[in-house]
């Protein structure tokens, strides 16, 4: 077999389990689609807040 199937196909979404907290709404975060930077743990956002942030970003509303 030419392929190394050890870790799936290399394009799988790898979820990182952990015990974090959203910096905005304080919701518990147990799973992230990326490996959080230890230095940015205090800036983590849960899924909802992250989506809101992206939404407000794309609508280009002023920051306040
Ligand atoms: Zn949140």
Q: Is there a domain that residue 52 lies in?
A: yes
pLDDT at 63: 60
pLDDT at 40: 93
Domain count, the chain: 1
| pLDDT per 10-residue tile (average), the chain, 64 residues | 55 84 96 91 92 78 61
What separation in Å is there between the alpha carbon of 12 and the centre of ligand 1? 25
Backbone angles phi, psi at 18, to 5 degrees: -175, -170
User: Which domain does 52 fall in, by range?
Assistant: 14-34+43-64
What separation in Å is there between the alpha carbon of 55 and the centre of ligand 1? 14
Exposure string for 44-62, b = 16+ CB within 10 A, e = fewer? bbbeebeeeeeeeeeeeee
Instruction: Classify residue 54 by its DSSP letter.
Output: H
Q: Is there a domain that residue 7 lies in?
A: no
Q: Is there a domain that residue 56 lies in?
A: yes
pLDDT at 33: 86
pLDDT at 53: 85
Q: Is there a domain that residue 49 lies in?
A: yes
Q: Is there a domain that residue 64 lies in?
A: yes
All residues at 6 or more sequence positions from 1 whose CB lies less than 8 Å from its CB, including other chains:
none
């Amino acid at each position: 077999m030419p392929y190394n199937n050890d870790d799936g196909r290399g394009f799988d979404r790898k979820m990182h389990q952990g015990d974090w907290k959203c910096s905005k709404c304080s919701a518990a975060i147990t799973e992230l689609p990326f490996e959080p930077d230890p230095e940015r743990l205090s800036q983590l956002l849960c899924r909802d807040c992250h989506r809101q942030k992206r939404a407000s970003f794309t609508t280009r509303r002023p920051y306040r």
